[in-house]
Amino acid sequence: MNHGIEGKVCLITGAARGIGSATARLFAEAGAAVALFDRDEAGVTALAGQLRQQGTRAFGAALDVRDLDAYTQAVARAEQAFDGVDFIVNVAGGGSRQTLATMTSEDWHAIVDLNLTGPFNSIKAGAPALRRRGGGAIVTVASLAALTMSMNNGLSYTASKAGVLGLTRHAAFELGRDNIRVNAVLPGPVLTPQMKAKLSAEKLAAVPRTLPLGRWVQPEEVAAPILFFCSPMSSACTGTHVVIDCGLHVGSPNSRDEYDRTRDLEA
Ligand SMILES: NC(=O)c1ccc[n+]([C@@H]2O[C@H](COP(=O)([O-])OP(=O)(O)OC[C@H]3O[C@@H](n4cnc5c(N)ncnc54)[C@H](O)[C@@H]3O)[C@@H](O)[C@H]2O)c1
């Protein structure tokens, strides 16, 4: 299928596994060149090697998205390798299960740096390159928790992902004049290999029962709306988001008991 991004160049972070690697594969299939970054250098280098064997222009390298200088160098490296960059997709992110009672200031800053400063760095470092190209698209990866709250992670995750939506809207406003669109995707429960390894068989079976579609979201189903936000199909969309959650936001059984049972709320 022609998605209208053939020959374009996409920089993707968090690309070593999960949603990031599914996104890299989808963009490669659609004919884009991909510059893959992750703190897991071996992971992105291996994926880039596989994609090159399939005929995609690709490279992988180390990046800590929390470091603006390093992000700027990563964008420059992609620009040099592929003569420009059209899309920036910041997938790297993560959570902590700390509660208000157990979270230290360091724990708080670690998650906010990763989930909110990382996307800020993607926009700050990426926008000049996209401007040089005459426009482009940036996609941030928030979470359904940005609109509700996270039941798997702590309040630093919920707050930082909600912040990503404000960042996305405001950057969309500022960058509209440069023909740069900025949009967010909000995944619900995604069955990545990491998630599969982390959860008990009981929990893996229970989650689908709370979802209107009765199943987990697959990483490829998050990659698809990311591609949509980069493609000409979304040419009038900026500062907006799409929820990809098998219907979780519609309403789920009360999970409060489990939350209280499995957390330290008193420390
Ligand atoms: N899996 C889900 O259910 C789910 C739900 C909602 C939102 N999300 C969001 O989607 C994104 C990807 O999630 P995933 O499930 O694929 O995660 P994952 O843990 O499988 O992969 C995350 C990747 O980011 C990389 N990474 C972590 N910190 C980094 C840093 N500082 N710099 C560079 N790379 C770093 C990791 O090495 C890893 O390769 C995250 O932002 C996450 O918050 C995931």
Domain boundary assignment for the chain: 9-262
Query: Does residue 91's CB lie within 6 angstroms of at least one atom of ligand 1?
Result: yes
Cβ distance 18 to 221 under 8 Å? no
Torsions phi, psi for 95 (to 5 deg): -135, 175
Distance between first and last Cα of the chain: 54
Cβ distance 73 to 62 under 8 Å? no
pLDDT at 254: 52
pLDDT at 95: 95
pLDDT at 17: 98
* Burial group, residue 229, by CB count within 10 angstroms (0-12, 13-18, 19+): buried
Ligand 1 atom, smallest distance to 44 CA: 39
Ligand 1 atom, smallest distance to 195 CA: 1
Mutate-to-test residue for ligand 1 from 41, 143, 196, 244, highest number of ligand atoms within 8 A of CB: 143
pLDDT at 264: 84
pLDDT at 260: 74
Mutate-to-test residue for ligand 1 from 11, 36, 39, 244, highest number of ligand atoms within 8 A of CB: 39
pLDDT at 253: 56
Mutate-to-test residue for ligand 1 from 25, 38, 211, highest number of ligand atoms within 8 A of CB: 38
Q: Going by CA atoms, what residue is nearest to atom 18 of ligand 1?
A: 18
Cβ neighbours around 42 below 10 Å, total: 11
Low-confidence residues of the chain: pLDDT under 50: none
Distances (CA, A) of 48 to 20, 42, 45, 57, 118: 12, 10, 5, 8, 22
Query: Does residue 14's CB lie within 6 angstroms of at least one atom of ligand 1?
Result: yes
pLDDT at 256: 57
Query: Does residue 113's CB lie within 6 angstroms of at least one atom of ligand 1?
Result: no
Query: Does residue 17's CB lie within 6 angstroms of at least one atom of ligand 1?
Result: yes
The residues carrying an active-site annotation are 157
pLDDT at 212: 85
Query: Does residue 19's CB lie within 6 angstroms of at least one atom of ligand 1?
Result: yes
Q: Could you read off the pLDDT of 45-77 as tens digits, one per residue?
A: 999 999 999 999 999 999 999 999 999 999 999
Exposure pattern of 163-193 as b/e (b: 16+ CB <10 Å)?
A: bbbebbbebbeebeebebbbbbbbbbbbbbe
For the whole model, what pTM was predicted? 0.96
Query: Does residue 194's CB lie within 6 angstroms of at least one atom of ligand 1?
Result: yes
The H-or-E segment that residue 232 falls in is: none
pLDDT at 159: 98
Ligand 1 atom, smallest distance to 189 CA: 3
Pick the CATH number of 9-262 from 3.40.718.10, 3.40.50.720, 3.30.565.10, 3.90.25.10: 3.40.50.720
Cβ distance 51 to 27 under 8 Å? no
